[in-house]
Chain A
């Protein structure tokens, strides 16, 4: 265990790069960090929705949308943060990360759709207003 920790500390205190000396890349990094934090915010939304929503379709709504958007935002943020110069290599890296973003953008909604269809054909019924009213009343009765 100790060895893991020490290697982790090595990583944490690894070369504090000389980024930020040039103004342009600092701006890029700040934008990247902002995008990453926004992505975390959307993932928080997805996680809370997945935890709190009452039936499968609403949970799928939260998870599908929040998951795709937060993945896109976080990966774009990392693409900007890791960009240290305007050399060919870093452009290539940005394009590769954007390829992951494009792939997730195409496939994640599709898999959500396929799951939704499978659930719908399994007669998984969405929660209607009546159900909600009945269950609320039932809960209150139980509490009393």
Chain B
């Protein structure tokens, strides 16, 4: 029963990831894409526990799930920070141009 539950759960998770992948594909802004990647990363941690249940080694796969969730968090913070920085650089360039015009 546990195995069937895990198999059905994994298949359903995988099916429900398809709309998210669609959002990554067409996402009008880059933030939409990152959001989709973040959602899939969180769900991958769940999928790792599912695979662990299938292989009867949950205690091993839970460690992978923790480190995957950790790397997902670091990735999201990195990307938001990077976009923040490039945006403020853009601001600064615009300000520099304005300053040059005033002069």
Contacts and interface: CB of A to CB of B under 8 A. Distances in A.
Classify A-B as touching or not with yes or no (CB < 8 A): yes
Interface of A: 11-12, 14, 16-17, 19-20, 29, 32-33, 36, 40, 43-44, 46-48, 50-51, 56, 59-60, 63, 67-68, 71, 74-75, 78, 81-82, 89, 92-93, 96-97, 99-100, 103-104, 107-108, 110-112, 114-115, 117-119, 121-122, 124
Interface in B21-73: 22-23, 28-29, 31-32, 34-36, 38-39, 42-43, 45-46, 49-50, 53-56, 58-59, 62-63, 65-66, 69-70, 72-73
Given A78-B49, A100-B62, A67 B42 contact: yes
Size band of the B side of the interface? 35 or more
Contacts of B95: none
Report which residue of A29, A68, A107, A111 has the largest number of chain B beta carbons within 10 angstroms of its beta carbon: A111
A78 B76 CA distance: 26
Nearest to A82: B58
Given A75-B45, A93-B59, A111-B73, 15 more contacts: A33-B5, A47-B17, A59-B35, A60-B35, A71-B46, A78-B49, A81-B2, A96-B62, A96-B66, A97-B62, A100-B66, A107-B70, A108-B42, A108-B73, A117-B84
